[in-house]
Amino acid sequence: MMRNRMAYLVLVMFLLCATQLKAQLYLGIEAGGNKNYLVTSNQSQAFTNYDPAAGFSIGVPLLYELNEWFAVQTELNYTQKNYQITRTGSFQGIYQKNTNSYLELPVLAHFSFGEEQVRGFINLGGYAAYWMSDHLKGLESNVLNTVDSSAGSNTLSANTGSYGYSYSETYQFSSVKDKRMELGWIAGAGISYETISGHRFFIEGRYTSSVTDQQKNYQLNQIPRYNSTWGISIGCLFRLKKSDNVYHYVNY
Amino acid sequence: MKLNFRNKILYFFTFITIFLVILTTSSCRKDLPVVNAAQNYPGGSYPDLFEAFWNGMNSNYVFWGVDSTNWDKMYTTYKPLFAKLTTFDSASESTAENYFAAMTAGLIDSHYNLTFELTGNSFSPATYRRELMNPNYFTDSTFPSAVLDSLIPYKYIDASSLVMGTDTVSMEGSATPFTAVSGTINNSILYLYFSSFALSQAGANTSPVFNYFFNMVQNLPPYIRGIVIDLRGNGGGEVADLDFVVGQMIKTPVTFGYTRAKNGTGRLDYTPWAPAIVKPWYGGSANIKVPIVALADHLSASMAELTTMAIKTLPNGKFIGTRTWGANGPLAPQVYFNGGQFTIGTSTFGSTGYLFTYTSSTMFKYLNGSVYEGVGVPPDIYARETTAAYKSGEDLVVDAAINYINSQ
């Protein structure tokens, strides 16, 4: 905890002392795809895997350039963090895909380098997100819709085939189990190209990692669940504000 | 514009600072605990058996969403108690069995049963609770068997129509008598009784009973004004018999409830509710429009209850009797639904293990959303046989069914 506070303090000092008032403000739009992994453990479940799943994100970034190499960026994103539960072996065919929709608010330190128009950049920071909804789509065994064999015996089949129950429905959140707020950190890198008119096009690869469990702490020996998301997005930033080309250095 | 030297230093340190902050924050993730399947614990000590059982219940018991038992409190209370049991001897085993029983005494799963393989002892929370309420709970009604011997077949069933017999079937690995009775009552009501859901095993003595009954169903004479299916005292059995029995009386599928299973390691991880459906029997069915009455009582359990509820759902169906046992959750091997029955201690004690936990694999709720697990299905029309009525040669429940059908 103490180490965190020191780090934050140092960061703030550097930012305050390195103010180079270029005052460029950009607003934009971005969209992209991602692949999310639900990081958890399920040794007690045989023939059951938690697989990653693809999703997409769209967002509105706001970039405030403090100087030519440093900016603060925030965004308001709709992003999906999906995953799939898949049964294997004799139970192949049984699955559930969770399509999780989040409203995400990253706050990032934006470091850039390179030439005037073509620049590389790195984004580092954290985010808060709200788990808006979860849509379930899958196929499950249905014990009370069994196959009728010629012998009339109980022919419950693990491989459900056409006798399983296929569903597509909205998940009802549990106030006991589900934690709707998520916090985490982000690291991204990309390239941008800015036109003379102030349109900055960019492509970014990003890794998003939650540090909060997807569940509330409601039972002993609970196995946590974390989202880890790899994404790539493209977008465009539009320059909104540019001050006179005057630079101030604060010495300390 | 290129960075000057000081800006390069600022750039570098700011980047490193934020990077270190992120590294620090990323360690906030908790370690993922290793929670093995219950059967994979070694089970070489009582503390290990406790951990295996508690964790096995934690992830396999399907009723945590509706069961009031505080399972975390059971962990904190009994973990230190099991830690004091340091040797396997008869005194420790007796104590351990009492602990396991005390932990589970309040569970609502009315299929639930613990079998202690070392001693052969067993514990059923549902039986325990019912005998606490009424020591004569099981002896209060032996009427289905008794009336079959002396009452229904000879006082109610028309002599010329009577078909009855007994075979031996295998129920959960045990040889079990299987009795069936059919015939007409007052030449206007078609009656069927069978002692368990093992119709696929009907042999030389009971096959004629079912052949008679279902032949009548599929070619229902105009003088038959109602059908009675007597499920009193029936402890359940094979799920496939549902379509065989009820499915021969319908022409379109009927949803009578829903089931859900475990879908994760957490207590509250469930699949969506899947519809429980009785389908027309593939070998042929009739569109029965006369009243269909299910008779059930406090000893009707499992498939007997599901069949009763399926009949209740029919537009011409009715349940007459008393509230049933309350064991509605279907069962299957644990691997099928990642929930339900499990064995602990196989590594130490062999294939039968130390303790077999028999519990439902899925949870059932009736069409109206009610969960009758642990409480039983309520009748549409209450009727209960009494000793006095039996001694005077009356079956008050069958009488109620006759009166109901005659009133329609």
Is-contact A115 B210, C-beta < 8 A? no
Q: Note the residue count of chain A.
A: 252
The span from the CA of B66 to the CA of B107, in Å, is 10
3-state secondary structure of B151: coil
Q: Is the dihedral of CA B248, B252, B256, B262 positive or negative?
A: positive
- Write down the CATH superfamily of domain B143-250+285-328+372-407: 2-enoyl-CoA Hydratase; Chain A, domain 1 (3.90.226.10)
Distances (CA, A) of B320 to B32, B294, B325, B361, B396: 53, 6, 15, 29, 11
Backbone angles phi, psi at A72, to 5 degrees: -110, 130
The span from the CA of A151 to the CA of A147, in Å, is 11
Write the class of the CATH domain A25-241.
mainly beta
Burial class (CB in 10 A: 0-12, 13-18, 19+), B238: buried
Q: What are the helix (H) ranges across chain A?
A: 2-17
Q: Which two tokens stand for residue B283?
A: 């070998």
Identity (one letter) of the amino acid at B384? R
Q: With an 8 Å Cβ cutoff, are A125 and B37 in contact?
A: no
The span from the CA of B382 to the CA of A171, in Å, is 39
Q: What is the pLDDT of residues B219-229, one digit of tens each?
A: 999 999 999 99
Q: Which two tokens stand for residue B235?
A: 């402890």
**Three-state secondary structure string covering chain A:** CHHHHHHHHHHHHHHHHCCCCCCEEEEEEEEEEEEEEEECCCCCCCCEEEEEEEEEEEEEEEEEECCCCEEEEEEEEEEECCEEEEECHHHCCCEEEEEEEEEEEEEEEEEEEECCCEEEEEEEEEEEEEEEEEEEEEEECCCCCCCECCCCCECCCCCCHHHCEEEEEECCCCCCCECCEEEEEEEEEEEEEECCCCEEEEEEEEEEEECCCCECCCCCCCCCCEEEEEEEEEEEEEEEECCCCCCCCCCC
Q: With an 8 Å Cβ cutoff, are A226 and B268 in contact?
A: no
The span from the CA of A44 to the CA of B6, in Å, is 56
What pLDDT sits at residue B332? 87
Is-contact A20 A67, C-beta < 8 A? yes
The span from the CA of B118 to the CA of B106, in Å, is 24
Burial class (CB in 10 A: 0-12, 13-18, 19+), A174: middle
Q: Which residue of A has its CA nearest to B276?
A: A144
Q: What is the average pLDDT across A167-175? A: 97
Among residues 10-69 of chain A, which lie with CB inside 8 Å of chain B? 10-11, 14-15, 17-18, 20, 39-48, 67-69
CA dihedral B55, B60, B65, B69 (to 10 degrees): -50
pLDDT above 60 (res A10): no
Instruction: Look at strands A118-140 and A165-170 and give their pairing.
Output: antiparallel
Choose the closest CB to B18 out of A11, A140, A141: A11
Average pLDDT, rounded, for chain B: 92
Q: Which residues pair with A18 in a beta bridge?
A: none
Among residues 91-150 of chain A, which lie with CB inside 8 Å of chain B? 91, 96, 109, 111, 116, 122, 124-126, 136, 138, 140-146, 148-149
Q: What is the pLDDT of residues A105-156, one digit of tens each?
A: 999 999 999 998 999 999 999 999 999 999 999 999 888 876 543 333 333 4
Least Cα separation, residue B385 to chain A (angstroms): 32
Reading across the β-sheet that carries B362-366, which strands appear in turn? B274-278, B254-261, B362-366
Is-contact A132 A116, C-beta < 8 A? no
Identity (one letter) of the amino acid at B130? R
The span from the CA of B103 to the CA of B63, in Å, is 15
Q: With an 8 Å Cβ cutoff, are B277 and A45 in contact?
A: no
Q: With an 8 Å Cβ cutoff, are B7 and A18 in contact?
A: yes
Domain boundaries, chain A: 25-241
What does the DSSP 8-state code read for residue B26?
Answer: H
Q: What is the pLDDT of residues A69-87, one digit of tens each?
A: 899 999 999 999 999 999 9
What pLDDT sits at residue A2? 41
What pLDDT sits at residue B35? 84
Q: What is the average pLDDT across A200-228? A: 97
pLDDT above 50 (res A20): no
Contacts of B199 (CB under 8 A, 6+ apart): A152, B210, B238, B241, B244, B245
Domain boundaries, chain B: 38-128, 143-250+285-328+372-407
Distances (CA, A) of B139 to A123, B134, B194, B233, B387: 75, 10, 20, 11, 11
ipTM of the complex: 0.89
List of E strands, B347-392? 355-358, 362-366, 381-382
What does the DSSP 8-state code read for residue B258?
Answer: E
pLDDT above 70 (res B105): yes
Q: What is the average pLDDT across B99-109? A: 98
In chain A, the percentage of residues whose pLDDT exceeds 90 is: 68
What pLDDT sits at residue B80? 98
Identity (one letter) of the amino acid at B35? V
Q: Is the dihedral of CA B55, B57, B63, B67 positive or negative?
A: negative
What pLDDT sits at residue A19? 45
3-state secondary structure of B23: helix
The span from the CA of B364 to the CA of B383, in Å, is 25
pLDDT above 70 (res B161): yes
| A71 CB within 8 Å of a chain B CB | no
pLDDT above 50 (res A169): yes
Is-contact B295 B232, C-beta < 8 A? yes
The span from the CA of B190 to the CA of B398, in Å, is 12
Q: Which two tokens stand for residue B335?
A: 């691997």
Q: With an 8 Å Cβ cutoff, are B17 and A7 in contact?
A: yes
Residue A122 with chain B: CB contacts under 8 Å: 15
Looking up tokens 């970039």, which residue turns up? Answer: A63
Q: What is the average pLDDT across B109-128? A: 97
pLDDT above 50 (res A158): no
**Of B302, B303, B297, B312, residue with least CA distance to B242:** B303
For residue B3, what pLDDT band results from cuts at 50, 70 and 90? low
For residue A68, what pLDDT band results from cuts at 50, 70 and 90? confident
Average pLDDT, rounded, for chain A: 85
